[in-house]
Structure 1
Amino acid sequence: MNPLHPGLLQEVAVLGAHCDDIAIGCGATLQLICRARPGLTVRALVLTGGSSVRADEEHAALSALCGPASVHLTVLDLPDGRVPEHFAEAKDAVAGLRDDSDVDLVLAPHAGDAHQDHRLLGEITPTIFRDHPVLGYEVLKWESDLPRTTLYQPLSAADIDDKLQVLRTCYPSQAGHDWFDDEAFRGLARLRGVQCRAPYAEGFVTDKLTLDLSSPSRGRDQEGESR
């Protein structure tokens, strides 16, 4: 696998339709970014779950995942399962996040997700963040809608253990779902790891990225030989 190394990230936007989407879809990736860049600012928007225990769970989870980063979380109270009926409110919220930030990377659900709330957010995000790299994450659930992922964040066993710990401890309201367990989440991460030759990974879908190949190559000495 040939890795691409993004430039310095100073601000990241993460979007979810429901509390726990972000942690399930890109929690380990977010944790790695925040660990590597302690001064990072994370702008998080969740469309449903406001004024409920779910919002409290989301605050706890993002605090655990983002560690030293500065986290700004907004949880709206749009109705779960009916976000498409509130298209204007959802789009205005995403646009407001863009206008109030200067993000370098956006993480959101992928546009092919079978859940209507996820899918709408995945469709809205790249139409608003037009000049940003947008990575679409996958949310494991009952529907058999796993995408063909095109970009991977490799993870170690410790990385996936940390993510599972957050999911297990921060979202007790979801423990009754038969798909919400360590085995399910670890299984998908192992599959994505196989696809990028890593122990585990989180997979993403992206429609369009811009490359800058004008900078000096990494991993080469002054004579131009690979290390």
Structure 2
Amino acid sequence: MRNIALASRGERLSVLCLGAHSDDIEIGVGGTILSMLSRGVILDVHWCVFSASGERETEARRSAEAFLSETESCKIELGNFEDSYFPSQSREIKAWLIELRSRVSPDVIFTHSREDEHQDHREINMLTTNVFRDHFILEYEIPKWDGDLMRRNTYVPIAEAIMEAKVELLLKNFGTQRSKDWFDADTFRSLARLRGMECRAPARFAEAFTARKLLLA
């Protein structure tokens, strides 16, 4: 297993985070964002949530601002596509992404997994890889009832303090989700511990991703 850093201390990195729902990005890549910031990476983050309305919109914005508080610059965009019906809105979502592509050219894109059983997540993945064909894309994972977790090939070790900060921010900012039986600290820590074991993370925790294509020069 080879260690390749996205960016080192003092280096600048442009990141695009795409999430179908208001807590997806935080669950899938929140620890990675916080870890890079703690290491002194200069982050410019574009954070896009496709479905966030009512109380969920307030939660999405508050949470994004908390996770991105130490970034060099950030842009938060919240859409109002209908939750659970993304496949039927594919044309409109693709147009939204094409317009976004005209404004951003990130070094790395974090998006949903191709194997995700949730129809909204899967649609975002397919459209991301279709619209951003020349970009480096990492697919994150969301634990859920469907049991669709799979083998990953890319890992980001997470320090224990960063893991605790991620869990604290998730529980603090998403009150509408706390009644769900899977949305708790044990779920988030357990998955990170398992992924940390797989990559022998020094602090025992990690977030895991899938990279479909890498160009080595």
- TM-score under structure 2 normalisation? 0.92
Partners in 2 of 1:181 and 1:137 — Cα distance? 19
Please show how residues 62-81 of structure 1 align to structure 2 within 5 Å: 62-69=64-71, 70-81=73-84
1:170 aligns with 2:185: no
CA distance in structure 2 between the aligned counterparts of 1:120 and 1:72, rounded to whole angstroms: 23
Map Cα deviations across residues 81-113 of structure 1 (whole Å, 9 max, x no partner): 001110011111222222111211100001110
- Structure 2's unaligned 5+ residue stretches are none
Of residues 25, 28, 38 in structure 2, which corresponds to 1:25?
28
In the aligned structure 2, how far is the partner of 1:167 from the partner of 1:40?
Answer: 21
Identity of aligned residues (%): 35
Q: Which residue of 2 aligns with 1:87?
A: 90
Q: Identify the residue that residue 181 of structure 1 maps to in structure 2.
A: 184
1:71 positional shift: 1.8
Separation in structure 2 between the aligned mates of residue 90 and residue 109 of structure 1, nearest angstrom: 14
The alignment partner of 1:81 has SS state of coil
Match of 1:203 among 205, 208, 216: 208
Pairing partner for 1:56 from 45, 55, 58:
58
* 1:34-53 matched pairs, under 5 angstroms: 34-37=37-40, 39-50=42-53, 52-53=54-55
Aligned 8 A contact 2:112 2:139 in 1: yes
Shift, 1:38, TM fit: 6.0
Counterpart-to-counterpart distance in 2, 1:32 and 1:145: 26
Q: Which runs of 5+ in 1 are unaligned?
A: 213-227
Q: Kindly indicate whether residue 120 of structure 2 is the aligned counterpart of residue 117 of structure 1.
A: yes
CA contact (8 A) 1:9 1:37 kept: no
Q: 2:16 is paired with a residue of what secondary structure?
A: strand
SS of corresponding position for 1:135: strand
Aligned counterparts, 1:147-158, within 5 A: 147-158=150-161
- In the aligned structure 1, how far is the partner of 2:214 from the partner of 2:12? 16
Q: What is the DSSP-based 3-state SS (H/G/I as helix, E as strand, rest coil) of the residue aligned with 2:87?
A: helix
Query: Retained in 2: the 8 A contact 1:43–1:97?
Result: no
Runs of 4+ in 1 over 4 A off after TM superposition: none
**2:14 aligned residue (11, 16, 22):** 11
Q: What's the TM-score, normalizing by structure 1?
A: 0.88
SS in 2 for 1:17: strand
Q: Which amino acid aligns with 1:65?
A: F
Q: Shift in Å at residue 11 of structure 1?
A: 1.4
Superposition RMSD on alpha carbons, in Å? 1.4
SS at match of 1:78: coil
Q: Distance in 1 between matches of 2:12 and 2:215?
A: 16
Paired residue total: 211
Q: Secondary structure at the match of 1:87?
A: helix
Counterpart-to-counterpart distance in 1, 2:6 and 2:164: 25
Instruction: Give secondary structure in 2 for the equivalent of 1:159.
Output: helix
Q: Which amino acid counterpart does residue 79 of structure 1 have in structure 2?
A: E
Higher Cα Rg: structure 1 or 2? 1
In the TM superposition, what is the alpha-carbon distance from 1:9 to its structure 2 partner? 4.0
Match of 1:126 among 100, 107, 129: 129
Query: Distance between the aligned counterparts of 2:104 and 2:80, measured in 1?
Result: 22
The residue identity in structure 1 corresponding to 2:216 is L
